[in-house]
Every structure is written in structure tokens, then in C-alpha cells.
Structure 1
Amino acid sequence: MLAFFNNTTRSLFLAFIALSVTACGFQLRGQAEIPQALKTITLTSEAKSNTFNTSLRIALTRAGITVVDAKDAADDVLELKVNAITTADTVLARNSSNDITQIERRMRTSYFIRQDDGKSLYGPRTVSTSKTLSNQNSEESTKAAYNKSKEEEMSEELANQLIYDLGYAPIK
């Protein structure tokens, strides 16, 4: 009987919490609605990272944005111009031999939306991400592979942040 009471009490408590959270208007943050004028764009990327450029194209497609060639674009198609990615490292930890064991890597880029005549409608806006990289005192090949995989994750996150930020562009 006691086990039944505990399960019943637990179920009622969880139901109460669930109803309380939904009653206050809580919603999981999803993809922001992209303005209609940005549903078809041209893309100019000065990012020297193939990983970022690929991640950006995937994120644009997932958000319902069609990327067309500049030469095939109509006059009313806007351009998303992404500037070069900059990275900066901050040493976070060293071992007893004074070798670096942990760094924080920051990646950032800026972008803006331009009309066909080159006039900026939105931006420049900056998006950035950072990640703590450990394993910095490992063998060189291990360290390089680890850092490359983390930079790929950061590139994907940076592209997703750019798309999220585009959802708030005041363009009709």
C-alpha cells in the first residue's frame, strides 16, 4: 500500500509541475522565424573555413532559406555577406613543466545583409562562440585531431548562431 501511495504521490507531483510550467507560458526556444525577404538570398563568404561554409549552407537550408547564385538572382534578392572568421586563444592551465594543458578558443565573425546595390540593410552583426580545449599537452597528432574536431563543432555552432540571429533581422 505504501509503494502505491508513493507512486501516486510522485505522479501527481510530476503532473502538477508539468501543468505549472505550461501554465506560465514556458516554451522551448526553437528556430526563430526567418523574415520572408530572406527566404531567397545570395551568399558571399570570406570565411576561409570550408567547415564553416558547409555548416552555414546546411543551416541555411534547414531554416528554409534558398541560396542562389548572384548572377542568377533577381534584383530584389538580398545578399548575406559573411566576413572572415577570427580566432583567439587564451591559456587557461599549464602543467608543472609549464606546458600548456588547456586553452579557451574563441571564434567570431561578422555579417550583414546587403541590397543588390551594395547598401547594407542589416548589420554588421557579430556572432561568436568559445570552447575550452584540453589535451593540449598530448602528442602532436592527437592534439591536432582533437583541436580539429572541436573547431568543426565550433564552426557548426557559429553557423547556427548566425541563422538564429537572422531570425531577428528587422527586414520585411
Structure 2
Amino acid sequence: MNPVFREILVALLALTLAACGFQLRGQASLPFETIYISFPVGHPIGIDLRRLVQAGTTTRVVEKAKDAQATLDILSVANDRQIMSVSEGGRVREFELRYRVTFRLYDARGTDLIPANEISLRRIIPYTDAQAVAKEGEEAMLVREMQSDAAEQILRRLEAVKLAAAAR
């Protein structure tokens, strides 16, 4: 390929990307400097949230609630599945996977910044008895993806919080 043609092609691609509004995700900007994250034992969403805050923001995650400007309290985490359709023979054809997280954000004085709020995610998974083992793996992967998605949604909601000037 001609080097001049290649440079023109690269420039056109860069211009097209810039024109469409694409930009890499930068750091999230949380309105508080420190946060404490409380979550039920055994639920990896808390670990995901800690990682997202530590890696993607300038906010520090502290180990004690009394040291934090804000506390994110994961009140409940639940995932379940429900049969969506069955065949004429009564065999399951589709499941709906559901993942729900209830959380609350409050400041050091206990004032709600985000009152108890629920994020609910759903995914449909087709099912056949012949692929039962593979479908179990797919289900586990979808639940993990929903958990990561929920953590990212919570982080975006934290970004939208407005603190009173006196509280900062």
C-alpha cells in the first residue's frame, strides 16, 4: 500500500471518529473525596464497586464509615431465574435471569444523598436439555456481566449526586 495513501486513510479514520463524538471514557468525577462502601458479605458487587471507585476516580475508599464524606450502603443483592417459555412437551425453552441491587448513599451526618434505590437487570437465556452444562456456564457468565453492569450504573448515579456547599 502506498505510504501517502495509508496516511490519508488514517487521517480520514481519525477525523471520522472525532466527528461522531467518540471519546475514551475518562475518570469519573465523584462529588466527594472519601467514600465508605458497605456491602453484604459474599457478594462480589461490593468488590467491583471498590475497584471501580479506586481505579476510575480520584475518590479514596476508606475502611471506616466515620472517616468518609459519604457512605454507599448496598442494602440487598438478589439474583434469580424464572421460566419464560416451555415446549409442547413441557420442557423449558427460555429462562429470564434477574439481578437486583438495592443501595443507598448518605453523607457523614446521615442525610440521604440517594435514598434507597433499586437497579434491576434482566437477560433472556434460551435453554435446551442437550446443552445443559454449557447453559450453566452461560448463565454464570451472564450473572457476572449483570453484576458488573449494576456496579457501573451505581457509579454513574454517584457521579450525578450534588452535595450542598456546606457539606464539602
What is the alpha-carbon distance in structure 2 between the residues aligned to residue 104 and residue 35 of structure 1?
34
- Give the aligned residue type for 2:49: L
- What SS does the corresponding residue of 1:125 show, helix, strand or coil? strand
1:43 correspondence with 2:43: no
Q: How far does residue 17 in structure 1 lie from its aligned partner after superposition?
A: 9.4
Structure with more relative contact order (C-alpha pairs < 8 Å, separation 6 or more) = 1
Q: How far does residue 123 in structure 1 lie from its aligned partner after superposition?
A: 2.6
Cα distance 1:67–1:17, how it changes in 2: closer, same or farther (>3 A)?
closer
The aligned counterpart of 2:84 is 92
What is the alpha-carbon distance in structure 2 between the residues aligned to residue 96 and residue 130 of structure 1?
25
Cα distance 1:49–1:98, how it changes in 2: closer, same or farther (>3 A)?
farther
TM-score, structure 1 normalization: 0.69
Alignment partner for residue 152 of structure 2, among 157, 160, 170? 160
Structure 1 residue runs without a partner (length 5+): 1-7
Q: How far does residue 93 in structure 1 lie from its aligned partner after superposition?
A: 3.0
The aligned counterpart of 2:94 is 102
What is the alpha-carbon distance in structure 1 between the residues aligned to residue 30 and residue 44 of structure 2?
26
The aligned counterpart of 2:129 is 137
What is the alpha-carbon distance in structure 2 between the residues aligned to residue 136 and residue 116 of structure 1?
51
What is the alpha-carbon distance in structure 1 between the residues aligned to residue 87 and residue 46 of structure 2?
36
Q: How many residues align?
A: 162
2:105/2:113 contact within 8 Å kept? yes
What is the alpha-carbon distance in structure 1 between the residues aligned to residue 29 and residue 73 of structure 2?
17
Q: How far does residue 169 in structure 1 lie from its aligned partner after superposition?
A: 1.4
Cα distance 1:16–1:141, how it changes in 2: closer, same or farther (>3 A)?
closer
CA RMSD of aligned residues (A): 3.4
Structure 2 residue runs without a partner (length 5+): none
The aligned counterpart of 2:72 is 80
What is the alpha-carbon distance in structure 2 between the residues aligned to residue 59 and residue 119 of structure 1?
24
Q: How far does residue 30 in structure 1 lie from its aligned partner after superposition?
A: 3.0
- What SS does the corresponding residue of 1:83 show, helix, strand or coil? strand
Percent identity over the alignment?
15
- Give the aligned residue type for 2:116: P
What is the alpha-carbon distance in structure 2 between the residues aligned to residue 44 and residue 51 of structure 1?
12
TM-score, structure 2 normalization: 0.71
Cα distance 1:95–1:142, how it changes in 2: closer, same or farther (>3 A)?
same
Q: How far does residue 107 in structure 1 lie from its aligned partner after superposition?
A: 1.2
- Residues 96-137 of structure 1 deviation map (CA, whole Å, 9 limit, x = unaligned): 421212112121212221123322122333323222223353
- Residues 123-168 of structure 1 deviation map (CA, whole Å, 9 limit, x = unaligned): 3333232222233535665443332222112111111111122111
